[in-house]
Structure 1
C-alpha cells in the first residue's frame, strides 16, 4: 500500500512539473539579459574588419585631388658649350649656365575624367564598407538567435532530465513491488544518460557561439555575456514588390557595382583621349659670362736710368654678353597606338561590359534571395503557430493520457517514455523554428541592404 502511494504521489508531481514546464515555453525571462540592439551598436563601433573597410574607403577618397592635379614641374640645371681644353666659361661666346623649367599640361578634359574615375571608385569602396556593415549586423543577429535557441535547448533538456529521473524512480519502485520489469528501469536510465550527453554537447555549442559574438564585438574571447531573453515572433508585413524596390534603392553591393561602372566609363573616355598628344612646355634661361678682350693703348715707359718714352701696349677690357632665353613646346606622338592606345580602349570597354553583367547577376541573385526568404518566412510563420497552438498542446495531452494509462497498467513504460520524448523533441523544434524564423529575417535585411525590423 505504501509503495502504491509513492507511485501515485510521483505521478502527481510529474503531472504538475509538466504543466509548469510546458506553460513556461512561451514565458518571458526576467533579470539582466542580452540586448540585441546594444550588441549591434557595439559591433558597428568596434569591429576591426569594419574599421579597416572604412579606412580603406577614406583612403580612396584622398585619390581624386591627386589625380586631378598637374604633374610636378621639372627644373633642370646645367651648362652647355663648355670648351674641354681649359673649361673656361668666358672663352667661348656660346658657353652658358642653363636653368630650365618644364611643365607637362594635358589636354582639356583629361584631368576632370581622372578625377571622375577616382571619385566613383572611392564611392564604390564606401558602398563596400556599407555592405560589410549589413553583413556584420546579420552575423550578430544570427549568433544572438543561435544563442537563444541553445539556451532554450539546455533549459528544456535539463527539465526533461529531471522528469526522466522521476521516471527512473517510478520504474524502480514498480519493479520492486513486482508491477514493473527491469527492462523499464534500464531503458529509463539509458535515456537519462542520453540527456546528460546532449547537455554536454549543448554547453560546448553555447561556448562557441559566445566566443563568436565576442569576436564580432572585438572583445576578449573569455568575456562573459548575459543570456538572451525569450523572444517573440517578429511581425512581418512586407511583400515581394516592396522588398525588390527597396533592394534596388538601398543594397550597398548594387551601388558598389554601379559606381564601378561609372568609374570605368570615365576611364574609357580617358583612354580615348590618349590618342591625342599631351603637351610639355619648357622655358630655359642661359647665363653667359662677360668676355675679356685686349686693345692697344699709348703708355709712357721709363727704363731704369734711362729717358721716358711713349709706347703702345695691350690692355684688357670687358665685353658684355647678353644672356639667352629659350621657350619650347613638346608633345608625345602616339605612334604605337595600334598596340597601346587602341588596346587600352578595348580593355576599358570590356571592363564596362563585365561590370554591367556583374550588376545584372547580382540583382538577379538579390531578387531570388528575397523570393527564397519570403517562402521560408511563410513556412516558418505557419510552423510557429502550428507548434504553439496544436502540436505541443496535443503532445502534452497525449503524454498526460499515457501517464494515466501507465498508472493503471493499460500501457507499458516504453509507450509512456516515447510520449515524453516526443513532447521533448517538439518543444525543441518550436524554439528551433522560432530562432530560424528570426535568422531568416536577419538574412532578408542583409539581402535588401536595409534594417527592416
Structure 2
C-alpha cells in the first residue's frame, strides 16, 4: 500500500509539473513581445503586396513652352509660346505587377515560418530555464535532507560525548559541515532566483511558479527532418527566389507611358497633345539577362544551403540522441551507487554504536552519498534539457 501511495503521489507531482510548464509556455507565447512583432511584419508585407499590384501615381507637369529671349511669358508676338499642363501615366504591365506581388506574398509565408522558429526557440529556452528552476528546488530538497542527517549525527555524537565516547572535535567537525551545507542552500536559492527572473524576461510577464521534483522524460524518437523549422525556412527561401527569377524574366517587357497635354496660347487657338511611349529592351543581353542569371546563382547557392541545413539538423538529432543514451547510463550507475552507499552508511552507523568506527568515517561516506544525490539531480536535469532541445528540432 505504501508503494502504491508513493507511485500515485509521484504521478500527481509529474502531472502538476507538466501542467505548470504547459501553462508557462502558453503564457509566454501570448505575452512575449517578439512573438507579436512577427504579425506586424506579416501585415506590412500584405500592404506591400497590394501596393505592388497598383499602378504608380501619375505625373502632373506645368510648363512654359517656346519662350523667346526677350519675353519670358507667352505673348501674341510669339504664336509658338504657350502655357502647358501635361499629365503623364507610367503603365507597368500586369504580368510585372502580379509577379512582383507574388514575391511579397511568398515572403508573408516566410515570416510565419520565422515566427514558428522563434516560438520554438522561445519554448526551448523556457524549458531549459524551467529545468534549472526545478533543479534548484531539487537541490534544496536534498540539502534539507542533508541538514536533518547532520542534526541526527550531532544528536548521536552529543550523547556519546556526554559519556566520554566521542571527542569535542567530532562535534565541531559536524557543525562546520552544517555551515557548509547552509552555504550550498544559498547557492540553490541564487540559482532559483536567477532562473526565475530569466523566465519572466522571456515570458513577457510574471507567473507564479512552484517547480517540483525532477523526473525523466522519454526521448522523442519520431523525428521527421522535413518538419524541422530550419529546413522549412530554407525551402521557403527557395520559393521566394523562384518568384524573383520569374519576375526578372519579364523585366525586359516594355513599360508604357501615356501622356495628355493642354497648351494655352494668347489670342490664338489652344493646343491638345496626346502621346504614347514605351521602353525598348535595347540592352537586354547586357542588362536584364544579367538580372536573371544573378537570381539563378542565388537559387543554386540556397540549394546548397538547404543541404547543409539538413545535414546539421540530422547531425544535431543524432548527437542529442547519443548524449541522452550516455547520460541515462550514467544515471543508472549513479542510482546503483546511491543504494550501495546507503547500505554502507547503515552499517557504519551500527558500527559507530559499538565504537568500531568514528564519526569521520561516517561523514566521509555521507559526503559521497550527498555528492551522488547532487549528481543524480543534475543528470535528471540534463536529460530533460536534452529532450527540450530535441523537441525544438521537430
* Equivalence for 1:318: none
Specify whether residues 333 and 226 from structure 1 end up closer, same or farther in structure 2 by C-alpha distance, changes over 3 A only: closer
Q: How high is the TM-score relative to the length of structure 2?
A: 0.86
Does 2:40 correspond to 1:55? yes
SS in 2 for 1:225: coil
Find the aligned partners of 2:214 and 2:191 in 1 and give their Cα distance. 20
Structure 2 counterpart of 1:263, from 226, 230, 240: 240
* Equivalence for 1:218: 204
Find the aligned partners of 1:224 and 1:49 in 2 and give their Cα distance. 18
Does 2:305 correspond to 1:328? no
Q: Deviations over 1:1-41 (max 9, x none)?
A: xxxxxxxxxxxxxxxxxxxxx99x968669x9781111111
Write the mapping of 1:143-182 to structure 2, written as runs, cut at 5 A. Answer: 143-182=129-168
Find the aligned partners of 2:133 and 2:90 in 1 and give their Cα distance. 63
SS in 2 for 1:273: coil
Write the mapping of 1:73-92 to structure 2, written as runs, cut at 5 A. Answer: 73-83=58-68, 85-86=70-71, 87-92=73-78
SS in 2 for 1:226: coil
* Equivalence for 1:348: 295
Q: Deviations over 1:71-103 (max 9, x none)?
A: 222222223234554534444443333232222
- For the pair shown, the structure with the greater C-alpha radius of gyration is 1
Q: How high is the TM-score relative to the length of structure 1?
A: 0.76
Structure 1 counterpart of 2:28, from 43, 58, 64: 43
* Equivalence for 2:362: 416
* Equivalence for 2:178: 192
Cα offset for 1:342?
A: 5.1
Cα offset for 1:231?
A: 4.6
Does 2:318 correspond to 1:371? yes
Does 2:213 correspond to 1:230? yes
Find the aligned partners of 1:187 and 1:214 in 2 and give their Cα distance. 41
Larger displacement relative to structure 2 (174-183 or 435-444): 174-183
Where do 5+ consecutive residues of structure 1 fail to align? 1-21, 292-320, 449-453
Cα offset for 1:363?
A: 1.4
- 1:57–1:126: 8 Å Cα contact kept in structure 2? yes
Structure 1 counterpart of 2:102, from 116, 122, 127: 116
* Equivalence for 1:282: 259
> When you count helix as a share of all residues, which structure comes out higher?
2
CA RMSD of aligned residues (A): 3.1
Cα offset for 1:277?
A: 4.3
- 2:254–2:278: 8 Å Cα contact kept in structure 1? no
SS in 2 for 1:102: strand
Find the aligned partners of 2:207 and 2:176 in 1 and give their Cα distance. 34
Does 2:357 correspond to 1:443? no
Q: Deviations over 1:330-377 (max 9, x none)?
A: 425554963x54553443233223322222211111111211222233
Q: Deviations over 1:183-208 (max 9, x none)?
A: 43343233222211111111111110
* Equivalence for 1:206: 192
- 2:263–2:270: 8 Å Cα contact kept in structure 1? no
SS in 1 for 2:83: strand
